[in-house]
Amino acid sequence: MLRFLRVEHLPLIGCLEWELDPGFTVVTGETGAGKSLLIGALGLLLGNRADRSLYLDGEKTCSVEGEFFLEEGAAETLSSLLESSGADPCEEGRLLVKRSLPASGASRQFVNGCSTTLTVLRQVGDSLLDLHGPHEHQSLLQRSSQLFLLDAFGGLQALVAHVGEIYEKLEWARRREQMLSDPERERRRLLRMNVIQEIGDAAVRLEEEEEILRELELSRHGWKLLEMVGELNALLFTEEGALERVSRARRVLAGWSSLDAPGAAKAEELLEAAAVGLREMETLLIDYRERLEVDPERLNALEQRRSVLEGLKRKYGPTLSDVLRTLRAAERERSEEEEELRHHRQLAEERPGLERLFEEAYRQLSEARRRVGETLTQKVSHELAELGFPRAEFCVDWITRPHPGRRGAEEVEFLFAPNPGRPPLPLREAASSGEMARFMLALKTVLAAVDHVPILVFDEIDANVAGETAWKVGAHLRNLGRQHQVICVTHLAPVAAQGDSHFRVRKEHSAEGTSVSFERLSLLQRKEELARMLGGKSEESLALAERMLSGGPRPASSSIRRQED
């Protein structure tokens, strides 16, 4: 419910604080007293476009602030919207909404103290309040809302959810099936296979690059190295080489040792080590020379292999580690894709069965909706007759979707013709504001238990209404107030008498200018206000007003007349 409304610097109204009650609230006052400005302030709070010529008071900033208290379910739903938009969620069901309109520049909006966009403010307003009258803010004018309410009225939510569940499965299968023939997917698959084949065929080893470089270096300098090895061999191992000289030295050393063994021992040890080292050197040179075979074909093969590795590094590198990492990633993606494709093929095989289930489900939903539509038509037509439209026509128009979706195969459009002889039209085109307000009252009465919008505001609902119909309008509003917070601006005493609370708007003139006052009426003040609305504060009017407030018998229709504007 709307618990509190504060308005600042609105022309005529000035600064106003309004504390509201649950149930059915009526607002009365003479024509031109400023009631429409109050309704306009509510519209501003909920995101309606601001007419600066009407809502700005000089250079001052106009602001409208409302405090709402929500039931647990509504608070959770709205908190999700607020959190997704960056605003603070509702705490203990309390919601604060504020809108400021400076003399120049764009308006500013705040929800729970956090700045937000006008779009978010309108979304909040759509979930909280419907304005019916010249300042329209009506969720029921939208086809999506009409279908939602019809389903809720008929208790079809489980069937709608079933259709949506099958539809999601079917769409998933369709999307997966499309992926099998997606040209872009096939292009990526071929690129991946090329990568795997190119790197796989190359049989890359991480350590081979260093081996190739070393072997290439040896191959490029093979002849020079052979020459050097040959020269070393000649110096060390020919007849005049170092090994022969060491052998002769050992014979001389043997004579020295025979004459002075202790003195020659160290020299003999060193000479023996030199001989061993030269023999090892000889073995090394032989092995190296055998490995140093100069083969032009081998050199060419090494160069080609090096070129292959460099090409792979340019494409998938910059190192062989990166090349191998690319290969492993491509193989992993191939494996995942093969598994996914197996799953997609399975889904594609299931799709015909899902299509049959979906068709059966949405046809069942369509049949149920048409039965509910007939019931809704009968009930709303009955309520319209009660509200002064005995020959009005209301019907539900079914619009077939080109392609059935998650909410079924059709949309609905509520059609209404207030006067006989004219075809019924969509609600937004069908009637004047007063007729539309009464139609909405009839529809809201039927849908009261399932309508999720908690606050309903009716303006000019009593246009062209008098007598018995006025009593029925008031009774409908009172009953509607048991499930919603209802605010009604009215000129009819029979409507005002049935309110749970009553406020009066009065225009006052002074030397300083014109202003509007707004007050809650006591029981005595209500009686006087009703008497005024009945034609004046005569004894008869006061007595009639008292009977109306006490719930006494209704006066004859001839004794009730609307005060002329």
Which of these, 496, 517, 494, 530, lies nearest to 486 by C-alpha position?
496
**Residue 503, Ramachandran bin (φ over 0: left; ψ between -120 and 50: alpha; else beta):** beta
Helix (H) or strand (E) holding 294: none
Q: Which two tokens stand for residue 188?
A: 């990526």
Query: Is residue 563 very low, low, confident or very high in pLDDT (cuts 50, 70, 90)?
Result: very low
Q: Which DSSP category does 104 fall into?
A: S
pLDDT band at 512 (very low <50, low <70, confident <90, very high): low
Residue matched to tokens 């006066």: 555
**Residue 138, pLDDT score:** 63
Average pLDDT, the chain: 82
Q: Is the pLDDT of residue 556 over 60?
A: no
Q: Which two tokens stand for residue 240?
A: 């005049």
- Maximum CA pair distance of the chain? 166
Tokens of 555: 């006066």
Give CA–CA dist 109/117, Å, rounded: 6
- pLDDT at position 434: 64
User: What is the predicted pLDDT for the residue at 409?
Assistant: 95
Cβ atoms of 128 and 455 within 8 Å: the answer is yes
For the ranges 103-112, 225-234, 320-329, the maximum mean pLDDT occurs at 320-329
Percent residues over pLDDT 90 in the chain: 21
Under DSSP, the state recorded for 61 is P
Assign residue 142 a region (left: φ > 0; alpha: ψ between -120 and 50; beta: otherwise): beta
Q: pLDDT value at position 560?
A: 34
Strand order from edge to edge, sheet including 114-116: 14-19, 2-10, 62-69, 94-101, 108-111, 114-116
pLDDT score of 561: 34
Please give the DSSP secondary-structure letter assigned to residue 465. -
The tens digit of pLDDT for each residue in 403-416 reads: 999 999 999 999 99
The secondary structure element, H or E, covering residue 544 is helix 539-549
Per-residue tokens: 267: 């020299």
Task: Assess whether pLDDT exceeds 50 at residue 443.
Answer: yes
Tokens of 293: 């075979």
- ∠ CA 456-420-149, nearest 5°, is 35
Helices 433-447 and 467-480 meet at what angle, rounded to 10?
A: 50
Confidence of residue 514 (pLDDT cuts 50, 70, 90): low
48 vs 494: which has the higher pLDDT: 494
Highest mean pLDDT among 254-258, 297-301, 476-480: 476-480
The angle at the Cα of 526, spanning 522 to 528, to the nearest 5 degrees, equals: 120
> What's the pLDDT band for 528 if we cut at 50, 70, 90?
very high
- For residues 63 and 5, the answer to whether their CB atoms sit within 8 Å is no
Mean pLDDT, to the nearest integer, of 367-382? Answer: 94
Which of 37-41, 170-174, 207-211, 390-394 has the least mean pLDDT? 37-41
**Pairing relation of β-strands 24-28 and 485-489?**
parallel
Rg (CA), the chain: 48
Instruction: State yes or no: pLDDT of 148 exceeds 60.
Output: yes
Residues 458, 133: contact at Cβ < 8 Å?
yes
Check whether 86 has a pLDDT greater than 60: yes
pLDDT band at 521 (very low <50, low <70, confident <90, very high): very high
- For residues 339 and 347, the model is more confident at 339
Neighbours of 59 (CB within 10 A): 9
What are the residues facing 6 on neighbouring strands?
17, 65
Q: Which of 103, 124, 128, 105 is nearest to 114 (CA)?
A: 124
**Residue 330 clears pLDDT 60, i.e. is over it:** yes
Q: How many CA atoms lie within 13 A of 380 on its CB side?
A: 26
What band does 295 get if pLDDT is binned at 50, 70 and 90?
A: low
165-177 burial, b for 16+ CB within 10 Å, e for fewer? ebbebbeebeebb
Most confident of 181-190, 320-329, 494-503: 494-503
pLDDT band at 54 (very low <50, low <70, confident <90, very high): low
Cα 509 from Cα 513, distance rounded (Å): 6
Residue 159 pLDDT more than 90?
A: yes
Percent of the chain with pLDDT over 70: 88
Which residues, including other chains, have CB under 8 Å from residue 214's CB and lie 6 or more apart? none
Q: What is the pLDDT of residue 211?
A: 83
Quick one: tokens of 457? 């505001």
The domains of the chain, with CATH numbers, are: 2-138+454-559 (3.40.50.300), 188-333 (no CATH)
Most confident of 511-515, 540-544, 556-560: 540-544
501-510, strands of its sheet edge to edge: 129-132, 455-459, 485-489, 24-28, 501-510, 513-520
In this prediction, residue 558 carries a pLDDT of: 33
- For the beta sheet containing 425-426, the strands, ordered from the edge strand earlier in sequence to the opposite edge, are 393-405, 408-417, 425-426
pLDDT beyond 80 at 177: no
**Which pLDDT score, from 0 to 100, does residue 513 have?**
64
Quickly state the pLDDT bin for 553 (edges 50, 70, 90).
very low
The per-residue pLDDT for 338 is 79
> Hey, which residues does 27 pair with through a beta bridge?
489, 503
Predicted pLDDT of residue 52: 65
pLDDT for 294 equals 61
